[in-house]
Structure 1
Amino acid sequence: MKKFEYQIITYPMDKKTSLIAMQDDLNARGKEGWEVVSVSSSEFANIGHTAFLKRAISYEGGTS
C-alpha cells in the first residue's frame, strides 16, 4: 500500500506574490515529487492562496 506525506503552503495575497511566482514555486516542488491536490483562496479574508500537496513515500521513510 502506498503511503503519502503532505505539505500545506500559503501564498499571501500581496503585490510581491504574483501568480507567476506561485507557479514557479509549485513547479519546483513538482520536480521534488510533490503533486498539488487542491488549492483554496480567500479574497475576503485577505489570506491569499493555500495549496495542498502530497507525494508518495517509501516504506523506509524516504521519498519513493
Structure 2
Amino acid sequence: MKKFEYKIVTVPVKSVWTGKIDEDLLLNTLNDLGKEGWEVVTVSPPATDMSSKDRFIILKKEIN
C-alpha cells in the first residue's frame, strides 16, 4: 500500500479585490517543491472565491 506525506503551503493574496498573487514567487516555490517530489493535490479556497485573503495549496509526496 502506498503511503503519503502531506504539506500545506500558504499563498498570500496581494489584493483581496482582484485576487492577485505573486505568480513568480508561487511558480518558484512549486518548482522547488516539485524537485523534492511534492505534487499539488488541490488549492483551497478556489481562485473564484474572492472573499479569502490567502490561498492554501495542499501537496503530497509518497513515502517509503
The two structures have a TM-score, normalised by structure 1, of 0.75
Q: What per-residue deviation string (whole Å, max 9, x for no partner) do you get for residues 19-64 of structure 1?
A: 1210110110000000001112442132x22100000001xxxxxx
Partner SS for 1:50: strand
The two structures have a TM-score, normalised by structure 2, of 0.75
User: How many residues of Structure 1 are paired with residues of Structure 2 in the alignment?
Assistant: 56
* Distance (whole Å) between structure 1 residues aligned to residue 9 and residue 50 of structure 2: 16
4+ aligned runs moved over 6 Å, structure 1: none
Unaligned runs of 5+ in 2: 16-20
Whichever of the two has the greater Rg, that structure is 1
2:9 maps to a residue whose letter is: I
Percent of aligned pairs with the same amino acid: 43
